Amino acid sequence: MSTWYQENIRVQYKDTDQMGVVHHGNYVTWFEIGRTEWMRHKGMTYSQLENQRLLLPVMDVQLQYKLSAKYDDCVAVFTRVSKASPIRLEFEYEVRRIDEVAFAERGKTESLNPYGELLTKGSSTHMWVNSNWKPTKINKVAPEVYDIVKK
Amino acid sequence: MSTWYQENIRVQYKDTDQMGVVHHGNYVTWFEIGRTEWMRHKGMTYSQLENQRLLLPVMDVQLQYKLSAKYDDCVAVFTRVSKASPIRLEFEYEVRRIDEVAFAERGKTESLNPYGELLTKGSSTHMWVNSNWKPTKINKVAPEVYDIVKK
Amino acid sequence: MSTWYQENIRVQYKDTDQMGVVHHGNYVTWFEIGRTEWMRHKGMTYSQLENQRLLLPVMDVQLQYKLSAKYDDCVAVFTRVSKASPIRLEFEYEVRRIDEVAFAERGKTESLNPYGELLTKGSSTHMWVNSNWKPTKINKVAPEVYDIVKK
Amino acid sequence: MSTWYQENIRVQYKDTDQMGVVHHGNYVTWFEIGRTEWMRHKGMTYSQLENQRLLLPVMDVQLQYKLSAKYDDCVAVFTRVSKASPIRLEFEYEVRRIDEVAFAERGKTESLNPYGELLTKGSSTHMWVNSNWKPTKINKVAPEVYDIVKK
């Protein structure tokens, strides 16, 4: 399994709902931020993939909610690849509450173990397609990308 | 001035924030729903305009907040054209709280006077452009559309 | 298994992303609309539950994406209870593309079989808690609610 | 006039729409992030204000759109107070596209002049109220807060 990549996010007011916590729908977006920044950290951007006419649409998402994030909390999205084949890519996520010091000083880094208070876990599966949404073998059309994700 | 068109919206949980009211950002989206459904009511859809390679991007938006909408409220978005030239189009909006009976029975209709408790007023200005984002004279490229909006 | 309840939603412009389809995160919100309107159809509102100091937070969500919804599509969210115990409640969802006629004429009704083109399937699990977020047995504190959901 | 405070934001996929640009509604949220982080930079947080039972609801918002932000763009939200009285507070905003270097190296700082390509300008007016939404004179109930905003 690859190491975890940490991306920090400050909880915004608009993310809260009248229960006083972050609305559960926002975590899907946070997962997306997690894998986007994971890619950038690995040296490619999703934007570059799109320019190469490669898309990575979502096939499924699972979320398990443990504790609620609150307004102005410091959260870290930990992301890693859990499975990579030439046709599919799976990510795993943990969203954790961290303190202000860790928020300011750590982030945009890899770590062996996620830390902080676990809020939400999840995963997503994606499929490599071309710009006509036809399934594509990433090891054929962009081996350098496959080299990055399969590690 | 044209008559007002009424489109009803049920306030969703995710629209609320921890103040216990609808987050102010949602009204921009409600204005968009208002003008989209105004168009459909007039016999054209924004989707058809895009197929004709016509876009109507937003140049400015103003919003004035009077009272707050709450979770599960019935709101009506009243929309009308306030100004139409060959190159620009201005809409005016009123978002009002209405009761369950009006919500169920009225809606998708025109009326001379908006009714219900005024929550938010606003306006938006739009520009006609082609699919390359070049300004376009709507009375030249789509006179049938201009006929609809200038009334 | 209970019958399916159908709630119709028009796809908005802000729901799309630059792939030209509905961003996958929106389906979590559509599921929420589905179960909210299911409840209203059954004769209680989530708002009334909150007034009785009962909350139904989300424990997990699963989504499987089959086909993409597009701008201005007519979609139907089909919702039913898949499992109800005194402490938990599970919903099942199907989001399907329907035509303009079905959109205008059907909706806010129950049906034995979902119809239309399947876009996304999913489920969510919820837990009954009181206003202090302590787990609660719904058959004790609100037997009339349990009667509704267990059917 | 006070100096501008710069907060950087990476454009996310979910912020885009099928025109291939950031949906105009997102700028309202970006303004909110701008003023929230402005406050934190000044040594108080909106969260602390809420704990003191002070709220700062939005009375109006204006937005003028000049150019579009695109997916993965680096944008900077420049925020400053344009007017502060004991009962009201006005903010002014400029959202600008900046390059990757400025994005990585500048941010969370004050500057005399906003830089980068101007995308959207705007302003918002807010009113000081207590937790019962009654208007409040901030110089009486929290003079230390008034000292910060009136500069």
- Over chain C, what is the mean pLDDT? 96
List the single residue in D with minimal CA-CA distance to A28: D14
- Look up tokens 């205008």; give the residue: C104
Q: To the nearest whole angstrom, how far is the Cα of C63 from the nearest Cα of chain A?
A: 5
Q: How far apart are CA C83 and CA C90, in angstroms?
A: 5
Give the pLDDT mean for A102-129.
Answer: 96
Distance CA B59, CA D2 (A): 27
Q: In whole angstroms, how large is the CA radius of gyration of chain C?
A: 16
Q: Which two tokens stand for residue D21?
A: 């640009």
Nearest to C127 by CA among A121, A64, B12: A64
Structure tokens at C147: 């009667």
**Three-point CA angle A10, A70, A33, nearest 5°:** 40
Check CB contact of A131 with chain D, cutoff 8 Å.
no
List the chains bordering chain D where 3 or more Cβ pairs fall under 8 Å. A, B, C
D63 at interface of B, judged by CB pairs closer than 8 A:
yes
From D69, D46, D66, select the one nearest D58 (Cα to Cα): D46
Residue C2 pLDDT grade (very low, low, confident, very high; cuts 50, 70, 90): confident
> What is the Cα–Cα distance from B22 to B74, expressed in whole angstroms?
12
Q: Residues D65-86: pLDDT tens digits?
A: 999 999 999 999 999 999 999 9
Contact A33 D12 (CB under 8 A): yes
CA angle C32, C35, C40 (to 5 degrees): 125
Mean pLDDT, consecutive 10-residue stretches, chain D (151 aa), reads 92 96 98 97 95 96 98 98 97 98 94 96 98 95 95 77
Q: Hey, what are A106's tokens? A: 């750590």
Cα dihedral A135/A27/D105/A6 (nearest 10): -80
Using a CB–CB cutoff of 8 Å, tell me whether A12 touches chain D.
Answer: yes
> What is the mean predicted confidence (pLDDT) over A120-131?
97
- Residue found by looking up tokens 């100004």 in the block: B83
Q: What end-to-end distance do the CA atoms of chain B give, in Å?
A: 8
CA-closest candidate to residue C117, choices C72, C62, C66, C81: C66
Closest residue of chain B to D121, computed from CA coordinates: B60
- For residue B59, the distance in angstroms to the closest alpha carbon of chain A comes to 24
| B131 at interface of C, judged by CB pairs closer than 8 A | no
Residues (pLDDT < 50) of chain B are none
Mutating which of C12, C15, C17 best tests the D interface, going by the most D Cβ atoms within 10 A? C17
Tens of pLDDT, residues A59-69: 999 999 999 99
Note the pLDDT of residue D25. Answer: 97
- CB atoms A71 and B18 under 8 Å: yes
Using alpha carbons, select from D28, D33, D145 the residue that is nearest to residue D89. D145
CB atoms within 10 A of CB A115: 15
- Which of B55, B58, B63 is facing D65, going by the closest CB pair? B58
At C151, the pLDDT band (50, 70, 90 cuts) reads confident
* Closest residue of chain C to A25, computed from CA coordinates: C28
pLDDT score recorded for residue B2: 81
Please classify residue A31 by burial: count the beta carbons closer than 10 Å to its beta carbon, then call 0-12 exposed, 13-18 middle and 19+ buried: buried
Assess C64–A contact: CB distance below 8 Å, yes or no.
yes
User: Residue A111 corresponds to which tokens in the numbers above?
Assistant: 């770590």
pLDDT of residue D151: 77
Q: Are B54 and A45 in contact (CB under 8 A)?
A: no
Which residues have a Cβ under 8 Å from the Cβ of D25 and sit 6 or more positions away?
B25, B28, B29, B32, C14
Distance CA D135, CA D56 (A): 10
The partner residues of C3 in beta bridges, in order of sequence, read none
User: Distance between CA D65 and CA D21 in Å, rounded?
Assistant: 12
* Segment (H or E) for A50: helix A46-51
pLDDT at A2: 81
Q: What per-residue confidence (pLDDT) applies to C36?
A: 97
- Reported CATH class of domain B4-150: alpha beta
CA distance A13 to chain D (A): 8
Q: For chain D, what is the HEC assignment?
A: CCCEEEEEEECCHHHECCCCCECCCHHHHHHHHHHHHHHHHHCCCHHHHHHCCEECCEEEEEEEECCCCCCCCEEEEEEEEEEECCCEEEEEEEEEEECHHHHHHCCCEEECCCCCEEEEEEEEEEECEECCCCECCHHHHCHHHHHHHHC
The ipTM is: 0.95
Radius of gyration of chain A from its Cα atoms, rounded to whole angstroms? 16
pLDDT digits over C122-132, tens only? 999 999 999 99
List the single range of A6-15, A105-114, A121-130 with lowest mean pLDDT: A105-114
Distance CA D73, CA A47 (A): 10
Give the whole-angstrom CA distance, residue C48 versus residue C67: 36
The answer to whether the Cβ–Cβ distance between C19 and A57 falls below 8 Å is: yes
For C59-82, letters b (16+ CB in 10 Å) and e give bbbbbbbeebbbbbbbbbbbbbbe
- Which chain C residues contact residue D20 at CB under 8 A? 18
DSSP letter assigned to residue D3:
P
Instruction: List the single residue in D19, D28, D60 with the smallest CB-CB distance to B64.
Output: D60
CA distance C5 to B123: 37
Q: For residue B54, which of B137, B124, B147, B150 has the smallest C-alpha distance?
A: B137
- Whole-number Cα distances in Å, A100 to A10, B74, C89, D60: 10, 40, 36, 32
Digit-coded pLDDT (tens) for B95-121: 999 999 999 999 999 999 999 999 999
